[in-house]
Chain A
Amino acid sequence: LAVGLTVGSADAAKREKFGVDKRHEEFKRVKVATSSEKFNWKMVMPWSKGLLFYDVAVHFADSVRLASGGRLDIKVFSADELVPAMQSFDAVSKGSAQVGHDWPGYWKGKNEAFVAYASVPFGLDGEGYNIWMQEKGGTELMQELYGQFGLYALPGGQLGQEMGLFSNKRATKMEDFKGMRVRTVGWYMDILNKLGASVSPLPGGEVYLALERGVIDAAEFSSPAMNYPMGFDEITKFAIQPGVHQPGIQCALFFNMDAWNKLPDDLKWIVKIAAAETNAWSYNWINALNADAIKMFKEKIEIVQMDEATVIEFRKVTKAYVDELKAKYPDVKKAMDSQEAFQEEFAIWREARGGATPWPYETFISGKTHE
C-alpha cells in the first residue's frame, strides 16, 4: 500500500494497480539457493486406495518429488497401511509420519472448529474457499488451529460440491424428511435430526448393505465422481439435490512441525507451491469427472430437486445450529465470523456478475440465465 501511495502521489487523478502479490514483494530481493540434503517422508491419510481423495494426496506427493528432483521423496500410505484412517492426525502430530492429507472435519473431536475448514452446510463453495483461504486470512486461521497440535497446514485439495442424498424415498418437501432414516455424519447429522429425520451415523463400510437392504432410506457419501464406484445408484431410486450439506469439500495437508522446520527453504517453497498446485488441479479434475458421473447416475436414478421452501427451511435451521456452535466454541466463532464476513463482502460481486451463467446456448435463451 505504501508503495502505491508514493508512486500514486505523482498524479492524483490517475489510479495505480489495484492489487499486490505479497509474495513477490517479500522475495524480489531474496536469493534462493538449491539445497542438497535428501529427505524421505511418509504420508498418511484416512483414504483407501479406491477413493479419489487418495489420488489427490498422491498428486501432491508426485508434484513434490518432480519439482524437487527427488530431494524430497514422500512415500504415500493409504488408510490402514501405516495407521488406521482416523489415526492419521495423531500419527503426524507425534511424528510417526511427517505429512498427512485429510478432510479437516474428521478432527472435530479435537476441536469443533476443524469442520469450518472442511465444509459447512450452506457455507463456502469451491470458489469461496479458494478466495477465503488465499486472500481473506483463511489459511492463517487454519494454520493457527493445526498449530495447536504441533502441525503446519496448507490447503491441499478443493473438491467442489457434494451431491445430495441417495434415497429410496422421494423427498422434496419438508414433511417428506420427517421420520426418514438417513445416514450422514457431522454437523449435518444434527441438522437433519432437528428437521425431524431419524439419522444414523452408520460406519462407512456398512452403508451400502444397509441402504440396499432398507435398513436406512437414504445416505450421502461424497461428490458424484467419488460416489460412482460405490454403486449407490444400483440400489436406490432417487438422488435428492442439491448437496446443501457440503457446498465445497476442502482438504488439507498437514505436516509435523519438527519435520517441516527441518526442511531447507527451497524445499519448503516446493511444498507450498505443490500444495497450491494440487488444490487447483483437484478442483478441475473432480469437477470434470462429476459431470461424467452425474450423467451416468441419471441413467439409473431420478435426480430430484428439493423445493425452494424446503431448502430455505434447511437454511434457517442450519443458521440456528451454527450460531449455537459459535456461542459454544470460540474457535468456531473465529472461523465462521471470518467466513460469513467474506460471504457478505463477496455478495455484491456475486450479485453484479449474476445472470451470465455459461449455460449452453439453448438453455440460456430459454430464459434460464442464473445457476
Chain B
Amino acid sequence: MSPEIMTVAMFASLIVAITFGHPLAYTLAAVATLFGLIDNGWNVPALFDMFANNTYGLMENYVLVAIPLFILMAQLLDRSKVSDELFESLYVVLGGLKGGLGLAVVVVCTVFAATTGIVGASVVAMGLLATPALMKKNYQMEMSAGVICAAGTLGILIPPSIMMVVYGGLTGMKETSVGNLFAAAILPGLLLSGLYFAYILIRCNINPKLGPPISKEEASKYSTAKKIMMTLKSLIPPMALILAVMGTILAGVATPTEAAALGAFGALILAVVSRKFSWQVMKESAYATMSTTAMVMMLFVGGKFFSTVFLSMGGGDVVADVLIGSGLNRYVVLIIMMAIVFVMGMFIDWAAILLVTVPIFMPIAMELEFNPLWFSMLMCVNLQTSFLTPPFGYALFYFKGVAPEGYTIGHVYRGILPFVFLQVLGLAILFFFPSIVTYLPELFFGPS
C-alpha cells in the first residue's frame, strides 16, 4: 500500500474504532499495531520492541514528572474548599450587577485557573457551588451551564497547566519549553476570561432575564469596606499558590517541574491551615491523583504508539506534502491545521489530539516559518476549546455530572454554543495579534 492510502486508512480506522466506546488509549494502540504490522511486513517482535522502548522512554521523561504533581495539587486544593470563600465574597460584591453572579463565576474560575493545572476540578467545584446559587436567582439554565463550563476550562490554559507540560515534553524545543509556554499562555488565558466577562455583561444588560441581579438588601448585607476585606482575605490562599508556582519559576528557585511540587506542597499546607486535612483526605487525593495521572499517561502511551507508526510509515511526509506541496498560502495551511484540530476536538480527548497532531503539525509549522510559540499557543487554545465542543466535551460531562436536577445535556449543549463562538473569536484575535502570545515570554526570558 502506498503511504498516501495508509495515511488515510489509518485515520479512518481510528475514527471508526473509537465509536465502539473502548478506552481511547487502547484503541490508539490497537490501530497503531495493525498499521505498524502492515508497514513492517508483520514483524511482530520488531513492532512491540519498539513500543516497549517507547513506553520506557515515557517512564523516564523528566518533564512529565510535573503531571502527577499538578494533579495532586488540584486534588488537595479541591478538598480544602478555598474556592468557596472567594465565590461567597464575590457573590455580594458583583451580585448586584446584571449578570453579576455569572461575572463572579468568571473571576473565581480565572483566579483558580492560575492555581490548578487541570480542568475537572474547577468545573466540578463551580458546578456544585455556583449552579444552585445561579438557579435560585433565576439565571437562565443555558447561560449558567455555559459560563461554568467555559470559565472552568481556563485551568488548562492559564498556567500552571498539564497541557503545557505535555506539549513541552512532546516538542522538546527550547522555544516551546514548559517555562516559555507557561509565560505565553497567561495573556491568551486572560483574553478569553475577558471575552466571557464582556459577553455576560453585554448579554445580561440587553436581556436581564438571562441573569438578573440579586436583591438590594442581599447585596447590602455587608458594608463596602467589609466586602473588600472579605474578597481580599479570600484571595490570599490562591495568591500564595500562584506565588509558589509561577513565583518560584520566575525567581529562579525552581524549574517548572519543581514548581509543580512546590504548588502541591502549598496546597497541602493550605488544606492543613484550613483544617480540611486528614489522612483520609490524603489517601483520597492520592487515589484520585493516580487515576487521573494514569489516564493521561496511558493516552500518552497509546498516542505515542499511534504517532510512531504514523511517522514510521511516512504519514508525516504525506500530510506535509499535501499541505505544503499544494502551494497554498501558508496562512491557509495554518487555518486548515487549526480546523482539523477543532473538528477532532469535537470527538476526541485533548491529550490524544495533542499526541497525534503535534508530531505531524509542528514540523509543518516550522517549515512554513511560523513562530513556534505562537503556533503552539493557537494549538493550546484550540485544544482548550475541545473541552467545550459538543458532542464529546469533557467539561460538559463534568458539569452534567454535578448539575442539579432538571439539567439535561440539551441545556448544556445549547448553553455552551455562544462560548464556543467566543473561543473561535479568541483564536482569531491571537491569530491577528501574535504579540499577545509572545510579549510575556520575551519580557520574562528575553527575546528568543
Q: Is there direct touching of A and B in the complex, by C-beta distance under 8 Å? A: yes
Taking Cβ atoms with an 8 Å cutoff, the residues of A that contact B are 42, 48-50, 75, 77, 79-87, 90-91, 94-97, 202-203, 205-206, 208-210, 212-215, 229-231, 234-235
Q: Are A77 and B311 in contact (CB under 8 A)?
A: yes
Chain A residues whose CB sits within 8 angstroms of the CB of B50 once the complex forms = 82-83, 91, 94, 96-97
The listed residue (B56, B308, B448) touching A82 by CB distance below 8 A is: B308
Chain B residues whose CB sits within 8 angstroms of the CB of A48 once the complex forms = 172-173
Q: Are A208 and B62 in contact (CB under 8 A)?
A: no
Residue of A nearest to B180 (CB): A209
Chain B residues whose CB sits within 8 angstroms of the CB of A205 once the complex forms = 62-63, 168-169, 172, 174, 177-178
Known pairs A84-B56, A209-B445, A213-B249. 15 more at Cβ < 8 A? A80-B172, A80-B359, A81-B308, A82-B308, A83-B53, A84-B58, A85-B57, A87-B54, A90-B53, A95-B49, A203-B62, A206-B256, A209-B177, A209-B249, A234-B447
In the complex, whether B47 has a CB less than 8 A from a CB of chain A is yes
Bound together, the chains give a CA A193 to CA B59 distance in angstroms of 28
Bound together, the chains give a CA A77 to CA B359 distance in angstroms of 12
Q: Is the interface of A mostly helix, strand, loop or mixed?
A: loop
Bound together, the chains give a CA A77 to CA B69 distance in angstroms of 32
Closest 6 CB pairs of A and B: A84-B57, A213-B252, A96-B50, A214-B252, A87-B53, A94-B49
Q: Mark B306-348, 1 if CB is under 8 A from A, else 0.
A: 0010011010100000000000000000000000000000000
The listed residue (B60, B174, B257) touching A86 by CB distance below 8 A is: B60
Q: Are B312 and A42 in contact (CB under 8 A)?
A: yes
Q: How far is the CB of B45 from chain A (nearest CB, A)?
A: 8
Bound together, the chains give a CA A205 to CA B178 distance in angstroms of 9
Q: Are B56 and A87 in contact (CB under 8 A)?
A: yes
Chain A residues whose CB sits within 8 angstroms of the CB of B172 once the complex forms = 48, 79-80, 205
Chain A residues whose CB sits within 8 angstroms of the CB of B312 once the complex forms = 42, 77, 81-82
Chain B residues whose CB sits within 8 angstroms of the CB of A203 once the complex forms = 62-63
The listed residue (A212, A215, A229) touching B445 by CB distance below 8 A is: A212
Bound together, the chains give a CA A2 to CA B124 distance in angstroms of 87
Q: How far is the CB of A5 from chain B (nearest CB, A)?
A: 52
Q: Are B54 and A84 in contact (CB under 8 A)?
A: yes
Residue of A nearest to B174 (CB): A208
Q: List 22 A-B contacts (CB under 8 A).
A: A50-B173, A80-B359, A81-B308, A82-B308, A84-B53, A84-B61, A87-B56, A90-B49, A91-B50, A91-B53, A95-B43, A205-B177, A206-B62, A206-B63, A206-B255, A209-B255, A209-B445, A210-B255, A213-B249, A213-B252, A215-B252, A231-B174
Bound together, the chains give a CA A132 to CA B22 distance in angstroms of 58
Q: Are A96 and B448 in contact (CB under 8 A)?
A: no
In the complex, whether B254 has a CB less than 8 A from a CB of chain A is yes
Bound together, the chains give a CA A85 to CA B62 distance in angstroms of 13
Bound together, the chains give a CA A50 to CA B363 distance in angstroms of 11
The listed residue (B255, B314, B359, B447) touching A215 by CB distance below 8 A is: B255
Q: How far is the CB of A83 from chain B (nearest CB, A)?
A: 5
The listed residue (A79, A96, A209, A229) touching B53 by CB distance below 8 A is: A96
Q: How far is the CB of A278 from chain B (nearest CB, A)?
A: 23
Taking Cβ atoms with an 8 Å cutoff, the residues of B that contact A are 43, 45-47, 49-50, 53-54, 56-58, 60-63, 168-170, 172-174, 177-179, 249-257, 308, 311-312, 314, 316, 359, 363, 366, 445-448
Contacts A82-B50, A83-B54, A96-B49 given: A231-B448 contact, CB under 8 Å? yes
Bound together, the chains give a CA A49 to CA B171 distance in angstroms of 11
Summed over the interface, the residue pairs from A and B with CB atoms below 8 Å come to a total of 108
Bound together, the chains give a CA A87 to CA B58 distance in angstroms of 10
Contacts A94-B49, A215-B255 given: A209-B179 contact, CB under 8 Å? yes
Chain A residues whose CB sits within 8 angstroms of the CB of B56 once the complex forms = 84, 87
Chain B residues whose CB sits within 8 angstroms of the CB of A206 once the complex forms = 62-63, 177, 255-257
Q: Are B255 and A94 in contact (CB under 8 A)?
A: no
Q: Are B359 and A96 in contact (CB under 8 A)?
A: no
Bound together, the chains give a CA A209 to CA B250 distance in angstroms of 9
Question: Which of B255, B257, B316 has its CB near the most chain A CB atoms (within 10 A)?
Answer: B255
Bound together, the chains give a CA A5 to CA B60 distance in angstroms of 60
Residue of B nearest to A88 (CB): B53
Residue of B nearest to A202 (CB): B255
Contacts A87-B57, A206-B62 given: A213-B251 contact, CB under 8 Å? yes
Residue of A nearest to B257 (CB): A206
Chain A residues whose CB sits within 8 angstroms of the CB of B446 once the complex forms = 212, 234-235
Q: Are A83 and B168 in contact (CB under 8 A)?
A: no
Bound together, the chains give a CA A49 to CA B28 distance in angstroms of 26
Q: How far is the CB of A156 from chain B (nearest CB, A)?
A: 21
Q: Are B46 and A94 in contact (CB under 8 A)?
A: yes
Chain A residues whose CB sits within 8 angstroms of the CB of B178 once the complex forms = 205
Chain A residues whose CB sits within 8 angstroms of the CB of B63 once the complex forms = 203, 205-206
Chain B residues whose CB sits within 8 angstroms of the CB of A229 once the complex forms = 174
Question: Which of A94, A209, A212, A214 has its CB near the most chain B CB atoms (within 10 A)?
Answer: A209
Q: How far is the CB of B362 from chain A (nearest CB, A)?
A: 10
Residue of B nearest to A256 (CB): B46
Chain B residues whose CB sits within 8 angstroms of the CB of A81 once the complex forms = 308, 311-312, 316, 359
Q: How far is the CB of A254 from chain B (nearest CB, A)?
A: 15
Chain A residues whose CB sits within 8 angstroms of the CB of B57 once the complex forms = 80, 83-87
Question: Which of A80, A205, A210, A213 has its CB near the most chain B CB atoms (within 10 A)?
Answer: A205
Bound together, the chains give a CA A90 to CA B311 distance in angstroms of 19
Question: Which of B45, B169, B312, B448 has its CB near the most chain A CB atoms (within 10 A)?
Answer: B312
Residue of B nearest to A206 (CB): B255
Chain B residues whose CB sits within 8 angstroms of the CB of A96 once the complex forms = 46-47, 49-50, 53
Bound together, the chains give a CA A91 to CA B40 distance in angstroms of 14
Chain B residues whose CB sits within 8 angstroms of the CB of A214 once the complex forms = 252
Bound together, the chains give a CA A203 to CA B258 distance in angstroms of 13
Bound together, the chains give a CA A90 to CA B46 distance in angstroms of 11
Chain A residues whose CB sits within 8 angstroms of the CB of B53 once the complex forms = 83-84, 87, 90-91, 94, 96
Q: How far is the CB of A219 from chain B (nearest CB, A)?
A: 13
Q: How far is the CB of B106 from chain A (nearest CB, A)?
A: 31
Q: Are B49 and A209 in contact (CB under 8 A)?
A: no
Q: How far is the CB of A75 from chain B (nearest CB, A)?
A: 8
Residue of A nearest to B50 (CB): A96
Chain A residues whose CB sits within 8 angstroms of the CB of B311 once the complex forms = 77, 81-82
Bound together, the chains give a CA A50 to CA B372 distance in angstroms of 13
Bound together, the chains give a CA A140 to CA B128 distance in angstroms of 70
Q: How far is the CB of B206 from chain A (nearest CB, A)?
A: 46
Chain A residues whose CB sits within 8 angstroms of the CB of B58 once the complex forms = 84
Residue of A nearest to B57 (CB): A84
Residue of A nearest to B248 (CB): A213
Bound together, the chains give a CA A75 to CA B43 distance in angstroms of 18
